[in-house]
């Protein structure tokens, strides 16, 4: 496919930037398509422009995206451990497992 000219390239880059801002803030469903389009923006072709048009059509058709926050009892949890000189010629070692879970009840670990 033929490559796009400089003016079209600039338009593609502007659309990617605008949609990326919108996608991160409100509508995450467009991120996979946006990522695919962004990966070919350096060597954009008419096919890239068609994909941009398809993405814009999708966003126009589904413009009622909202972000809803609901309360829950989830809290960040961390299980961690560290050791020093546990093996010959070893230095400090540390590991951690981070996850979301419920609050511990009665002081018992999760």
Three-state SS for 96?
Answer: strand
pLDDT at 48: 92
pLDDT digits (tens, 9 = 90+) for 27-51: 888 999 999 999 988 889 999 999 9
Q: Which residues of the chain are modeled with pLDDT < 50?
A: none
pLDDT at 56: 95
Close Cβ partners of 69 (under 8 Å, ≥ 6 residues apart):
none
pLDDT at 101: 84
> CA dist 77 to 20, 97, 98, 110, Å?
30, 8, 6, 9
Sign of the dihedral through C-alpha 20, 21, 22, 26: positive
pLDDT at 47: 93
């Amino acid at each position: 496919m033929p490559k796009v000219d400089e003016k079209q390239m600039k338009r593609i880059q502007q659309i990617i930037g605008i949609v990326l801002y919108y996608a991160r803030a409100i509508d995450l469903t467009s991120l996979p398509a946006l990522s695919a389009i962004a990966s070919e923006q350096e060597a954009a072709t008419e096919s890239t422009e068609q994909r941009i048009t398809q993405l814009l059509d999708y966003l126009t058709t589904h413009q009622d995206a909202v972000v809803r926050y609901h309360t829950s009892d989830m809290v960040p949890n961390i299980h961690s451990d560290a050791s020093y000189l546990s093996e010959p010629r070893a230095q400090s070692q540390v590991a951690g497992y981070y996850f979301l879970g419920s609050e511990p009840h009665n002081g018992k670990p999760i």
